[in-house]
Each structure stands twice: as structure tokens, then as C-alpha cells.
Amino acid sequence: MVAEKARVLNLVQAINEALDLALAWDERVLVFGEDVGRLGGVFRVTEGLQAKYGEKRVFDTPLAESGILGLAIGLAMGGLRPVAEIQFAGFLYPALDQILSHLGRWRHRSRGRVGLPVVVRAPYGGGVHTPEQHADSPEALLAHTPGVKVVIPSSPERAKGLLLAAIEDEDPVFFLEAIKLYRGVRAEVPEGYYTLPLGKARVVREGRHATLIGYGGMVEVMLEAAGVAAKEGVEVMVVDLETLVPLDEETLLEAVRETGRAVVVYEAMRTGGFGAEIAARIAEGAIDYLQAPVVRVAGYDAPYPPFSAIEHYYRPNARRVLAALRRVLGF
Amino acid sequence: MKPKVIRYLDKGEFPIGEGEALALYRAMRRARFFDEKALLLQRQGRLGVYAPFMGQEAAQVGVALALGEKDFVVPSYRESAMLLARGLPIHTLILYWRAHPAGWRFPQGVRAVNPYIPIATQIPQAVGLALAGRYRGEGWVVATSIGDGGTSEGDFHEGLNFAAVFDAPVVFLVQNNGYAISVPRQRQMRVDYIARRAEGYGIPGVVVDGNDAFAVYLEAKKAVERARRGEGPTLLEALTYRLAPHTTSDDPSRYRTREEEEAWRAKDPILRLRKALEDQGLWGVEAEEALLGELEEEFAREVALADQAPEPTPEMIVEHVYAQMGPDQRRAWEALRQGKHVEELW
């Protein structure tokens, strides 16, 4: 269900609205993390929530990511619906034991007795000159963890509905928010409570010559490239995966079969990135339709550069996507 | 200041009720009986790798029996005695150690979760579970357990600090048995008593003779009551010794001496409690024989139950990964059910 009235919001405001509604809707929802209380989060995503819902439901924790994940797991075990914030996705690493060893395993190891409806929100990705370690895109690491879901929204309207669906979900969901989009994108967002389905990819632009596949902050890059290509008479389809796990392979393969040419775009390091999984799925499921090799446009095999003058070379842009399109179209 | 090690046994003191003392003894003896039988089953190939707790019964049972009905236990892999004392059926525990899925779903009424294999990860989770109870007004207390080696992990620190900051109703039991597999306590830490670390978190720390069931039980009771009153967590260090190997795959003769083991065998928590009961005229050879007879019967019954569990089927691998299977689990499930590999379905 989608409410009728809509206003123009940025991504921060849309996520804030989703959290606000979740807190109002379900008293089992708790929001916590570093600086999410009085400060309202370093990006102000939780602004005003502590004042509105009190310190029992929206609270600051000690500065310890493993502790935050462990706390979230225990709260969920006890019947609550924790929504934890990790200040930057690159700060998830101290919590990997909790994530890899437990978060996605509890349902399996308890044979269904202990399910963990935990949401972990974290800003990810580059493009805004953040300090070192603040621009990582660890989605492949999370997608490689059994038992968790991974959702990466590409717009304010999608983010609000997907986050509410993630909070309603019975399993752990990582919800990664592109820092570049926080205030870099404004769009109409419906008022009121609505959810969008997890596990569904969507075609955000139709086209018959080639297919671009990506998610999160790369969707606007792909759309920009598709717009430029259209001026040259090339019709490019754009697929926004939205949910990496569980992956909507059906929509993905159908989109590739229609054009026979695929370019996968992601801003994480190329090797072992989630785009590699997409390319593998295409090879397994649509090789008969391919008229060119699958090409990846991704970050380079190096740490995300903390050097602001050159960091824009790392993150894929429309120009690099167009170069890849030329390659698959000219094969 | 050096903490005092709290002890009652061997001093002729009898600080708890007769009924409570007998309940402690029966639960400890039952646990020991299980441990011995489990080792035998393992030797016969009827159990997987097993982590015995022999020698640590007072520490585990003392805490388990100090809890109320709605309280939870969040155990590590060595806490089988604690789980038994909390009411986990023996056949479930056997199936757990047989690595049979039927032993991994604990019955709904049992207020305990599956044992933790990674070290110290249970500590912050126990804090979360305790805070959930407080938030919901359920008022349950959580007892969690770790060894001396486990206190070197970061999650031990993070969990204790979180518990302190949020006044979480948790009892942290540290079973200090002197070794982390083979590495002695002196290689884990410079402090003499782990309980001293409590001061660093601003919470009470208590040291008990961990082979003295009275001391463990009484101090655990105080800690549980304090937690229930909203006064926050307690770090309870129980000085004890693992009389058996780390697991059935371990060889302790490579890292400790026979003499040391014999010295601790003389301090066996079950013998010490039995002596106190006998001194009071509460226990004797006849009672012991009757108890052992009951335990033998119970164990035979429970093994038979465990033996009846149907063979696990391959598709169980992808069940319970998510509340509802995703497309990838579904495809694998179909394949495994048909006795195929997923590749054969394409």
C-alpha cells in the first residue's frame, strides 16, 4: 500500500521518517548505536527520535561495534526488533565475529527456535571526500554471510518502504545507505506507512540494446549513462537490484536475455565484489543469450583512496559506464 | 586489595537449607553421571567430539539452581551441567553432542539457548537478552558463563562494559579452571583474580571457591537478587579445575602434571559436598546407591529416546536459514530432496 500524498525529501529525511513510523507502529522497535540519541546521528538520520520516543527506545551505546551487534542479537532473542546503526559500513569490521558466527546462524543452529529480526543500518560508499575508512562498500562480505539479507536502496521513496519492510522482516537485514545519496538526491516520497517487497529487483529504465545492472549509489550513475547513450540512439535498460540477498535472479536474467549484453556496475573493489556474483549468475543462467562478454565497472583492486584530489577516479561514473557499454555493443 | 575467596565447605559450615543442599547434590551427581556416560558413548563412537566438565559441577549447578523459573542461561560449550540443571532433557543433550539436528532445537520451555562455540561472543548477547526482559517488563535475569581464557577476548570487555553502563540484569560466571586448553592463566593475564577486573567496569566482583557448591550457590543467589532489584550485573569468578581433557580430542598430559590433577581430584566438588551432607546425617551409602540406580535407569531411557531420532535428511541443510526460504535455498532444497546436487537441476 502506498499513501497518496507525497512530498519532496532527501534520503536522510526519508529514512528518518521510516524510523519514526516504525517506532510509532511497533513498540518492540528500538533504535540505537553511536551518537544516534542526543546528536541524532552523525548524518542526522535519527534526528528528533530520542526526544519523541525517549531514551528507552532510542539510545546511545558505548563506542564498540561488536558490543552493538551482540546487544542487537540478544535483544532480538528476547523478542524485540532492534534497529542498530553502525556509524560507517567500514566500522562493521570489529563486529564480524558477531555477524559471521551468530547473526545469520541463530535460526539455523536452533532449528528455527531463535530467529533474529535485527536491522543493521550503515552508511556506505564514497564520493563525498570522507576521511580514510569512511567510504568502504563491504556488501559482498555481508552477502557472503549465510542467513542475513542485504538491502541497498537507490532513492528516498524506495529507502522508506524498504526499511519498513526490513524492520518487519523476521530475519537479520543489513540496510546500506549510500552516503553520496544522503543529501545528494531529493525525490517525492509518499506520506504514511508503506512497505516495498524485499528480494525484488526492478527495471528502472527500459531498453533493448544493452542492460546495466547495479544498486544503491550506482543507480543514478547508470541512469546518467543511459541518458547519454539515448542521445546516440542506443537504448539501455537499467536494473536496480535493491536486494542483494535474497537475489531476484529471475528479473536479472530476464533483463539480460532481452538485450544479450550486460554491464555490471558496483563501487566496491572489483575482485570478489558482488558484481562478480551477478556476472556468474548471468554466465550460468543466460549464456545462450549473450552476444558479448559480461563487463564489470567497479572500484579498483586497492583500498578506497583517502586522497581527495584523486578519489573520483575510483568510484565508477557515467563516463566509465559508457566506455563499458561501447565495449559490449561493439563486440 | 586482594579479594577474599569465599568458602564454606571443609570448615564445618552449613549455610543453606537441607532441601537446597540436597537439590544441589543430586543435580551435581546427575551431571557427573552424564559426563562419565557421555565419555563412554564417545569412546564407543556413539557421540561426536564432546567437551567434558568434570570437576566444574559446583560452579555450573550452583549458578543454575540460583536462578528463578523465568531466568535464562546463555552457556558456552562446556556448560552441559548447567543445561541439565536448567531442565534440558538428557536425550536432547545427547543429540546435541551427536551433532544431530534434533538436539539443536531446545524445547520451548527450557530457558536456555544453544551453547556458544566462538569464545566470548555470548557475553554481549547475554546483555541484550537481559535488557529485552527489562524493557518488556518480564524481569528475567540472565546468567552467562565463560572460562578464564575467554576473558582475554574483546567481546568479554565490550559485554561487561555494556552491562555496566545499562545496569543489565546479568550474572557473569567465570569458571577459572586454570587453563585455556593448554595455556595457563599466567599467559592470559597479569591480574591474580579475574574478579578484580570488575572494578574496571564499576560493577561488583566476587571470588568463590568454585568447588564449594555452598559458596557458588549463595553468591550466585546474591548476584541474581541484585540483578532483579535493578542494581546491575555481577562478575562471579569460580576457582575450579577441569579434571578431564578439554575435549575428547585433547591430551592434557602434554601440558599439566599428574600430581596437579591428583591434587585437584582430592578437591572434587561432589566429594566435598557429599561429606558435608554426611556430616549432617543427610546422606549416606544407601541414598547414594538409590540415586545411582535412578540415574542409571534414567540415562538408559534417555539414550533409547535419542537412538529413536530419525536420520537427518540432506535437505535439512538449507532449512531454517531464513524464516521463509529464498529462491536459492528453495532450489537447493528441491535438489537435495530428490537426492541430487543442485547442478543436476539445471
Question: B2: which DSSP letter?
Answer: P
The answer to whether A70 contacts chain B (CB < 8 Å) is: yes
The answer to whether B328 contacts chain A (CB < 8 Å) is: yes
From B134, which residue of chain A is nearest by alpha-carbon distance?
A78
Q: What is the DSSP string of A220-264?
A: HHHHHHHHHHHHTT--EEEEE--EEETT-HHHHHHHHHHHS-EEE
Q: What is the pLDDT of residue B346?
A: 67
Domain ranges of chain B: 5-312, 313-346
Choose among A154, A79, A87: nearest CA to A116. A79
Residue A226 exposure: Cα atoms within 13 Å on the Cβ side? 26
- B interface mutation test: which of A113, A114, A149 has the most B CBs within 10 A? A113
**Length of chain A, in residues:** 331
Q: What angle do CA B262, B264, B265 make, to 5 degrees?
A: 60
CB A112 within 8 A of CB A73: no
Q: Give the span between the Cα atoms of A18 and A25, in whole angstroms.
A: 10
Choose among A275, A281, A254: nearest CA to A263. A275
pLDDT tens digit at each of 346 positions of chain B: 678 999 999 888 999 999 999 999 999 999 999 999 999 999 999 999 999 999 999 999 999 999 999 999 999 999 999 999 999 999 999 999 999 999 999 999 999 999 999 999 999 999 999 999 999 999 999 999 999 999 999 999 999 999 999 999 999 999 999 999 999 999 999 999 999 999 999 999 999 999 999 999 999 999 999 999 999 999 999 999 999 999 999 999 999 999 999 999 999 999 999 999 999 999 999 999 999 999 999 999 999 999 999 999 999 999 999 999 999 999 999 999 999 888 887 6
Q: What is the pLDDT of residue A54?
A: 98
CB atoms within 10 A of CB B147: 27
Q: Which residues of chain A have pLDDT under 50?
A: 1
Catalytic, B157? Answer: no
Q: What is the pLDDT of residue B345?
A: 77
Q: Give the span between the Cα atoms of A56 and B93, in whole angstroms.
A: 37
ipTM: 0.97
Q: Give the span between the Cα atoms of B35 and B40, in whole angstroms.
A: 9
CB contact under 8 A, A70 and B165: no
Strands (DSSP E) found in chain B: 5-6, 72-74, 142-147, 170-176, 179-180, 183-184, 205-209, 234-239
Q: What is the pLDDT of residue A5?
A: 82
CA dihedral sign, ordered B24, B25, B29, B32: positive
Q: What is the pLDDT of residue B153?
A: 97
CATH superfamily of A6-190: Thiamin diphosphate (ThDP)-binding fold, Pyr/PP domains (3.40.50.970)
The answer to whether B150 contacts chain A (CB < 8 Å) is: no
CATH for A202-329, options being 3.40.50.920, 2.60.40.10, 3.40.50.720, 3.30.1450.10: 3.40.50.920
Q: Which of B113, B135, B154 sits opposite A66 (nearest CB)?
A: B154
- B interface mutation test: which of A69, A102, A109 has the most B CBs within 10 A? A109
Domain ranges of chain A: 6-190, 202-329
Three-class SS string for B227-265? HHCCCCCEEEEEECCCCCCCCCCCCHHHCCCHHHHHHHH
Look at the pTM and tell me if it is higher than 0.90: yes
Chain B residues touching A76 at Cβ < 8 A: 128, 132
Q: Which residue matches cell numbers 545528494?
A: A184
Cβ-Cβ pairs closer than 8 A, A with B, add up to 147
CATH superfamily of B5-312: Thiamin diphosphate (ThDP)-binding fold, Pyr/PP domains (3.40.50.970)
CB atoms within 10 A of CB A161: 21
Q: Give the span between the Cα atoms of A300 and A298, in whole angstroms.
A: 6
CB atoms within 10 A of CB A97: 19
